[in-house]
Amino acid sequence: MDEIKPEYKAQLEEVYSMSYENEEEKTNKVQETKMNIVRSIMRSDMNETEKNKQMQMVMTFEYMQDTERRRRDSISHYVRNVDVENGSIDASQVTWNDEEHRILGCPHYRRGAKMMCPECHQFFTCRFCHNDACTHSLDRYKVEYMACMYCLRIQKAARSCKYCGKVLGVYYCDMCHFWCDNGGIAQFHCPFCNICRHGKGLGIDSYHCPKCNTCIGASKYDQHVCMENKLDRNCPICGEYLQTSRRRVVFLYCGHAIHCDCCDEYLRNGGYTCPICQKTIADVGKYFSMLDQWVEENPMPEEYRDLTQSIYCNDCEVTSVVPYNFLYHKCPKCKSYNTTVVRDTH
């Protein structure tokens, strides 16, 4: 979730906390401060997208702060004056992954703990639940306290409750503060990714590629295509950030990453090239054979038969000169029809 830069937030909090003789004076001072911050943003070395985001957050700061205050006053997650040594949460804060079968957790995970956000002191079952409800992100690495949903007691984050003894997650990571009862699927914490991954561990069934900066299954490691910070980008289909996404990610033949479900939907709708680099990502042998037959059965009109075109092959990245065609152009090197016309050469 995007956040306003601390230096801008501090200036706005200061101007809103000052005393004014009347509302007009306050409005003028707030507007002056906002415009000064906007000018500072425009002079910064941020890219245009980030500048626009920061300016939007500056201009809507009061509204966003008021929205969060209303959320804190209304949602059941919020606890005022938290007593982290002897306190407890209310029974109404217990949440379920599957209420019918009495499985504790949330829509995202099965677990028996709620974590306390170190910034707002609200209790949420997971960081996704928190980030969906708040205007700031929960820093999982700074979490110190949890609440057991069996006995409701607040305590230091741990795998088991120190009061009732219940195990709150079959898997627990003390770095990510991540609890999970996921049906026996093995998980481990990668110190290089600094997040938890599926698998038995590094050197067992997974390896970390320093260039890709991600973990890759042992069976695919020797064949994988290296790409700088492979997951430090958004899914090209849905736009969700891949590095911390809960959804399964697959690596295409070209090396680019995409959500597995997004890829399946993309292929079902006729896509067969990478949305990023346009290389072929599916088995299109039969399709290309059909195009061979179509080109053979539909020769160009006489006046076009001596003309040629320069094409670029998205698969082998070679530029070639081929016979003129209205629709399809086959790469003479790799035999792919995944090509783009560069120009008519005649």
Same-domain check for residues 87 and 167: yes
Backbone φ and ψ of 12, nearest 5°: -70, -40
Q: For residues 18 and 84, what is the distance between their CA atoms, to the nearest angstrom? A: 32
Rounded CA gap, 153 and 84, in Å? 9
Query: Domain check: are 80 and 68 in the same one?
Result: no
Instruction: Identify whether residues 163 and 87 lie together within a single domain.
Output: yes
| Per-residue pLDDT tens digits for 86-118 | 789 888 889 999 999 999 999 999 999 999 999
Structural domain ending residue among the three candidates 53, 73, 93: 73
Q: Do 94 and 11 have their domain in common?
A: no
| CATH number of the structural domain spanning residue 324 | 2.20.28.10
Tens of pLDDT along the chain (346 residues) come to: 457 888 998 999 898 888 888 888 888 898 899 989 988 998 888 888 888 888 888 888 887 777 666 655 544 455 545 666 678 988 888 999 999 999 999 999 999 999 999 999 999 999 999 998 888 899 999 999 999 999 999 999 999 999 999 999 999 999 999 999 887 789 999 999 999 999 999 999 999 999 999 999 999 899 899 999 999 999 999 999 998 888 899 999 899 999 999 999 999 888 899 999 999 998 889 999 999 999 999 999 999 989 999 999 999 999 999 999 999 999 999 999 999 999 887 6
Any domain includes 191: no
Answer for the pair 112, 169: CB distance below 8 angstroms, yes or no: yes
**Residue 27 in domain:** yes
| Range list of H helices, 214-275 | 218-221, 260-268
The boundaries of the domain holding residue 321 are: 285-344
Same domain, yes or no, for 161 and 91? yes
Write out the E strands in the chain. Answer: 96-98, 103-104, 113-116, 123-124, 145-148, 154-156, 171-173, 178-180, 187-190, 195-198, 206-209, 214-217, 249-251, 257-259, 308-313, 319-323, 339-344
Last residue of a domain, one of 73, 96, 130: 73
Query: Is 76:112 a contact under the CB 8 Å cutoff?
Result: no
SS3 172: strand
pTM, two decimal places: 0.64
Number of structural domains in the chain: 4
Helices 61-74 & 48-59, crossing angle to 10 degrees?
A: 60
Is residue 312, in this structure, part of any structural domain at all? yes
Domain match, 53 and 98 both: no
Q: Whole-angstrom Cα distance, residue 106 to residue 97? A: 4
Residues 47 and 80 in one domain: no
**Is the same domain home to 260 and 300?**
no
HSE, side-chain direction, 13 A CA sphere, residue 78: 13
Judge if 222 and 292 occupy the same domain.
no
